[in-house]
Chains A and B, each alone.
Chain A
Amino acid sequence: MNQSSPQLSRLSYVINLGVVGVMLVAMMRVILMMMADGLYPLASALSAITVFLALVYLRRRFTPVRWFGIGIALALLFTLYPILFTLYLSVTNMGSGHLMTKPQAVDQLESQLYLPEGGQTYGWTAYESPGGNYALWLLPEEGPGLLAIPGQSIEAVTVGERGVGELDDDGIPESIEGYERLPVNRTVAIIPALGAIDFGKAPNTVRIRSLREAAELKQKYRYDDGQDAIVDEETGTLFKPLKGTFTSVEGEELTPGYIVYVGIKHFDHFIGNARFREPLFKIFGWNVAFAFWSVFLSFAVGLMVTLLFEGLPGSRLIRALLIIPWPIPVLISILIWRNMLNPDLGFVAPALESIFGSSPAWFQDAAWTRIGLIMVNVWLSYPYFYVISAGAIRSIPHEIYDAAVVDGAGHWNKFYHITLPLLLRILMPLLIASFTFNFNNFNVIYIFNFGRPPMPDTIVPMGQTDILISFVYRLAFINTNVTNYGLAAAITVMLFFLISMMVVFQVRFTNLFREAE
């Protein structure tokens, strides 16, 4: 196309340049705005993406990439950025009281007002000009009323001066020339606009602070660029930045604070502590055991059921009944189990007591809670393995069994040397996937017993049946009025490495299996 019509090509190049140019300008504006707000991670991610897109759409060499350039850009934004952002968070103090960037915190502080000593307060009435300008009639507690117009000094005015009309019983003029008096109910709707106006001439201005009151309010805090500090205009106190909070020499702190880099503090605080590290490894160990036994036993039970009911009379009905656990929502199944095992309400405890004379402490004892969890999880997931192994078994050619019988193989040998290896070959990817799923099976753990019973002597609350994901959830998100994102991110990063190890192991394991074929 380019060779056949060089003119069109030049035109398209110009249009292309124009579009990319517009995009660049727009992106640059967005990025600059983000930088001004201190959102550096997002700004840098967007910069990288912008450069990438500009290259793709301007350099002929990258033409083949054009069609999925946007896709790659989005993938970068939504997968890479969260990972980088988590890493960034883990070395910051982001959390309650430190949720915004420094410029945002400064803005918030600079918007605070105060009434200086000796500052006057007034009752007020608003007037509006046809041009949409406002004036206030201020009534001090004693003395004559004052007229306040933005940009003009506030002064006591008598009737007749500056167009002020007759006063009513409250001492408020019925009219002011060029303005219309607003009744209270109309004032309410415009109070957001009125509240933002400085009436009078700087520095002697008046602001509205409620429906009843206007006052000589002043800006309380001012950011001093040179000193990098906040000055309290009322007291003259200097607040210097300290760990993300403007703090005075006396230790007084201003809220809100802002996000700062704190280094490896979060990692150090916990990884460096044996009362965190050791229980964390216990949790990791239980997590692997839970996932392994859940998958192993569900598969074993599913396969057993398949083999037992294969070809039996009425096997269809039995199969239908066996699949029942599957369609019931997991949440409800777990709650039903929880109630059945409840020592005070459930029927399991009295039943076991009448047979064995005692019943295990399903929720109080760590070992029994673990057994209960695996039991419930097997009950939930064996139908899945039953269904897929019943299907997979059919795909094994019958001739192989016939040949085995000729060689004198019994049931066990047929199963062990033919059925199992061939089944595993088909089902291994599903087993691996199921392991991964159970490794993060938050629902079962959390709904059954919230990861409890608790572990004694740990530096943060941990449970004997917590898995990594439920532990982090409890640590970082269960608290209603603390949000320490920095800490949560640091722990997530640690888990990221633990789980990466698992993934590497799994990948190697599957590869080995394939090579063996």
Chain B
Amino acid sequence: MKKSLSLLVIVVLLSVIGASSLVSAQDVSLTLWVYDDGRLEVLNQLGEQFEAEYGVSLSVEVVDLSEIRNTMTLGAASGEGPDMIIIPHDNLGPLVENGAAAVIDLGDKAESYLPNAIDGFTYNGALYGLPLAVENIGFFRNSELVPDAPATWAEVAEIGQALFDEGKIDSAIGLPDLTYNIYPVFTSFGGYIFGRDDAGNFTVEDFGLNNEGMAAGLAWVKSLVDMGIVSDNIDWESSHVLFETGRSAFIMTGPWAINRFDTAGVPYAISAFPAAEEGGEPGYPFLGVQGLVVNAYKENALLAQVFAVDFLATEENYQAIFDAEPRPSAWASIFNAAEDPNTAGFNAAGVNAVPMPSIPAMGYVWDAWVNAGTLVVQGELSPEEALDGAVAQVLAQLEAD
């Protein structure tokens, strides 16, 4: 009895497996994973248009970015994951290294895009993603306390000191972190993380993390702390609260903070970043690019490329995406048409922005960089010592690869 039952179970299981493999051979459809839901609706609408036109349905799912990353690196080679994903470009490196990203041939359409958006999704000289939107931080000032944007970082310190002495503020400038959000300070002094090789790829060979500009940037931060006009507790939340309550004159942060500043009602203006010295080059931030990447391991890769290049990449569709969620578009004409002062301010701040390096080594940089900055601010090490230590940490981990 038991035996024949188990035999029956096995037969049923086998036939289910057989049947399911037959079913999956039908209908062609595309799957797309996005990591935030801001564009979900517009993508679903575009998917319906695509289906009406070509008879191929599109299903869009919101999936956590870390889940997208894991599936696409660990699982893609064995057939897991969606046909397409939308990701920030700095996640691209490992996908390309693992063969999971398909090359996108934009043809003539490439000219309609912002060059640095294309640059963000270019890896080893080939384009691996369809850029959708770009994003960078800006330089905020409390426009009531500081009517005109300062031209140099020294001026920022002077204004901050004066307002602090008058008792109008508790903190000269909001520093949300010691890396990404203050990168323009470093770049204005000539700092950078990775230089580029002859082919235009970021390379570990030219590692700028401990160059003079980076040290000068940290020295400037340390001088503010020593003057007592910036807290030695560098904290994202504190810096934003101090600015939105009018207790801080400046802050460096991104479009995501606009909403809370508006709600708090603090008068602010966004401008380009100050320079190291009068007449110098203003600091530039990292550029983040969001784009669509095709999973190279899927049978539908060719179809996904048709969706991306032949269907999605039109000015009309990009306008629809921009209207649904007003993030600066990667489509040049739409980007340039943005008129409101906030967007114009971010665009002025990001005019020379360089895409954040997406090479795997960048992953080792962040933690070492934060630690170096923290050690300097707390007076444990000099900027040079701390940054040399950070470089040693990154190289040690690269070697261990």
* Given the contacts A188-B56, A461-B368, A255 and B97 also touching, CB distance less than 8 Å: yes
- Closest Cβ–Cβ distance, residue B61 to chain A (whole Å): 20
A190 to B25, CA, bound (A): 12
B396 and A480 within 8 A (CB): no
B77 and A99 within 8 A (CB): yes
* Given the contacts A255-B99, A342-B238, A460 and B397 also touching, CB distance less than 8 Å: yes
A93 to B399, CA, bound (A): 11
Taking CB atoms, residues of chain B closer than 8 Å to A458 are 389, 393
Q: Write out, one digit per residue, whether chain A residues 438-481 have a CB within 8 A of any chain B CB (1) or not (0).
A: 00000000000000111011111101000000000010001111
Taking CB atoms, residues of chain A closer than 8 Å to B207 are none
Taking CB atoms, residues of chain B closer than 8 Å to A480 are 69, 90-91, 363, 366
- The residues in B between 265 and 321 inclusive whose CB is less than 8 angstroms from any CB of A are 297, 299-303, 305-306, 309-310
- Closest Cβ–Cβ distance, residue A207 to chain B (whole Å): 10
Taking CB atoms, residues of chain A closer than 8 Å to B361 are 482
A444 to B238, CA, bound (A): 20
* Given the contacts A12-B3, A15-B3, A453-B374, A481 and B93 also touching, CB distance less than 8 Å: yes
B98 and A255 within 8 A (CB): yes
- Closest Cβ–Cβ distance, residue A145 to chain B (whole Å): 22
A344 and B238 within 8 A (CB): yes
- Closest Cβ–Cβ distance, residue B77 to chain A (whole Å): 5
A189 and B55 within 8 A (CB): yes
What number of A residues sit within 8 Å (CB to CB) of B? 66
Taking CB atoms, residues of chain B closer than 8 Å to A152 are none
Contact of A344 among B91, B170, B302, B310 (CB under 8 A): B170
Tell me if B78 is interfacial: C-beta within 8 Å of chain A. yes
Tell me if A185 is interfacial: C-beta within 8 Å of chain B. yes
A116 to B106, CA, bound (A): 21
A487 to B374, CA, bound (A): 26
Taking CB atoms, residues of chain A closer than 8 Å to B171 are 344
Tell me if A270 is interfacial: C-beta within 8 Å of chain B. yes
Tell me if B40 is interfacial: C-beta within 8 Å of chain A. no
Tell me if A400 is interfacial: C-beta within 8 Å of chain B. no
B10 and A266 within 8 A (CB): no
Chain B contact-residue range equals 35 or more
Chain A contact surface mostly: loop
A269 and B374 within 8 A (CB): no
Taking CB atoms, residues of chain A closer than 8 Å to B73 are 96, 99, 483
Taking CB atoms, residues of chain A closer than 8 Å to B393 are 458-461
B367 and A344 within 8 A (CB): no
- Closest Cβ–Cβ distance, residue B263 to chain A (whole Å): 17
Taking CB atoms, residues of chain A closer than 8 Å to B37 are none
Q: What is the chain A residue whose CB lies nearest that of B107?
A: A212
A19 and B10 within 8 A (CB): yes
B7 and A19 within 8 A (CB): yes
- Closest Cβ–Cβ distance, residue B389 to chain A (whole Å): 6
A96 and B309 within 8 A (CB): no
- The residues in A between 265 and 299 inclusive whose CB is less than 8 angstroms from any CB of B are 265-266, 269-270, 273
Contact of B77 among A100, A189, A478, A482 (CB under 8 A): A100
Tell me if B232 is interfacial: C-beta within 8 Å of chain A. yes
- Closest Cβ–Cβ distance, residue A461 to chain B (whole Å): 4
Tell me if A210 is interfacial: C-beta within 8 Å of chain B. yes
Contact of B28 among A18, A23, A189, A456 (CB under 8 A): A189
- The residues in B between 192 and 242 inclusive whose CB is less than 8 angstroms from any CB of A are 231-233, 235, 237-238, 241-242
- The residues in A between 193 and 228 inclusive whose CB is less than 8 angstroms from any CB of B are 195-196, 208-212
Tell me if B181 is interfacial: C-beta within 8 Å of chain A. no
Q: What is the chain B residue whose CB lies nearest that of A461?
A: B367
Tell me if B401 is interfacial: C-beta within 8 Å of chain A. yes
The interface centre, meaning the residue of B96, B303, B309 with most chain A CB atoms within 10 A of its CB, is B303
* Given the contacts A255-B96, A256-B97, A270-B400, A481 and B362 also touching, CB distance less than 8 Å: yes
A96 and B302 within 8 A (CB): no
Taking CB atoms, residues of chain B closer than 8 Å to A460 are 393, 396-397
Taking CB atoms, residues of chain A closer than 8 Å to B238 are 342, 344-345
B28 and A192 within 8 A (CB): yes
B371 and A188 within 8 A (CB): no
Q: What is the chain A residue whose CB lies nearest that of B27?
A: A189
B54 and A189 within 8 A (CB): yes
B98 and A210 within 8 A (CB): no
Q: Write out, one digit per residue, whether chain B residues 34-57 have a CB within 8 A of any chain A CB (1) or not (0).
A: 000000000000000000011110
Taking CB atoms, residues of chain B closer than 8 Å to A482 are 94, 360-361, 363-364, 397
- The residues in B between 368 and 395 inclusive whose CB is less than 8 angstroms from any CB of A are 368, 370-371, 374-375, 378, 380-381, 386, 389, 392-393
B55 and A269 within 8 A (CB): no
A457 and B389 within 8 A (CB): yes
B233 and A188 within 8 A (CB): no
- Closest Cβ–Cβ distance, residue B115 to chain A (whole Å): 23
Tell me if A97 is interfacial: C-beta within 8 Å of chain B. yes
Taking CB atoms, residues of chain B closer than 8 Å to A255 are 96-99
A191 to B302, CA, bound (A): 7
Taking CB atoms, residues of chain B closer than 8 Å to A189 are 28, 54-56, 303
A83 to B77, CA, bound (A): 24
* Given the contacts A97-B97, A99-B74, A456-B380, A345 and B237 also touching, CB distance less than 8 Å: yes
Q: Write out, one digit per residue, whether chain A residues 83-101 have a CB within 8 A of any chain B CB (1) or not (0).
A: 0000000000101110110
- Closest Cβ–Cβ distance, residue A490 to chain B (whole Å): 9
B233 and A342 within 8 A (CB): yes
- The residues in A between 80 and 126 inclusive whose CB is less than 8 angstroms from any CB of B are 93, 95-97, 99-100, 104-105, 108
* Given the contacts A479-B366, A481-B358, A210 and B305 also touching, CB distance less than 8 Å: yes
Tell me if A61 is interfacial: C-beta within 8 Å of chain B. no
* Given the contacts A189-B56, A210-B302, A345-B241, A19 and B90 also touching, CB distance less than 8 Å: no
Contact of A188 among B90, B237, B303, B378 (CB under 8 A): B303
- Closest Cβ–Cβ distance, residue A254 to chain B (whole Å): 10
- Closest Cβ–Cβ distance, residue B359 to chain A (whole Å): 8
B74 and A191 within 8 A (CB): no
Tell me if B155 is interfacial: C-beta within 8 Å of chain A. no
A461 to B369, CA, bound (A): 9
Taking CB atoms, residues of chain A closer than 8 Å to B303 are 188-189, 191-192
Q: What is the chain B residue whose CB lies nearest that of A14?
A: B3
* Given the contacts A192-B302, A255-B96, A459-B393, A185 and B55 also touching, CB distance less than 8 Å: yes
- The residues in B between 1 and 19 inclusive whose CB is less than 8 angstroms from any CB of A are 3-4, 6-7, 10
Contact of B98 among A211, A256, A454, A461 (CB under 8 A): A256
Taking CB atoms, residues of chain A closer than 8 Å to B380 are 456
Taking CB atoms, residues of chain A closer than 8 Å to B105 are 210
A484 to B73, CA, bound (A): 12
A265 to B368, CA, bound (A): 22
Q: What is the chain B residue whose CB lies nearest that of A17?
A: B3
A484 and B233 within 8 A (CB): no
Extra inter-chain contacts (17) besides given A211-B310, A461-B368, A487-B400, CB under 8 Å: A15-B7, A186-B55, A190-B28, A191-B303, A209-B302, A210-B306, A256-B98, A269-B396, A342-B233, A343-B231, A344-B241, A453-B375, A461-B367, A461-B393, A480-B90, A481-B93, A482-B360
A sample of 16 cross-chain residue pairs with beta-carbon separation below 8 angstroms, ordered by A number, consists of: A15-B3, A96-B94, A188-B55, A189-B28, A211-B309, A255-B99, A256-B98, A270-B400, A273-B396, A343-B233, A345-B238, A456-B375, A459-B396, A461-B371, A481-B90, A481-B94
Which B residues contact A (CB, under 8 angstroms)? 3-4, 6-7, 10, 28, 53-56, 69, 73-74, 77-78, 90-91, 93-94, 96-99, 105, 107, 170-171, 231-233, 235, 237-238, 241-242, 297, 299-303, 305-306, 309-310, 358-364, 366-368, 370-371, 374-375, 378, 380-381, 386, 389, 392-393, 396-397, 399-401
Q: Nearest 3 pairs between A and B by C-beta?
A: A482-B363, A479-B363, A454-B371
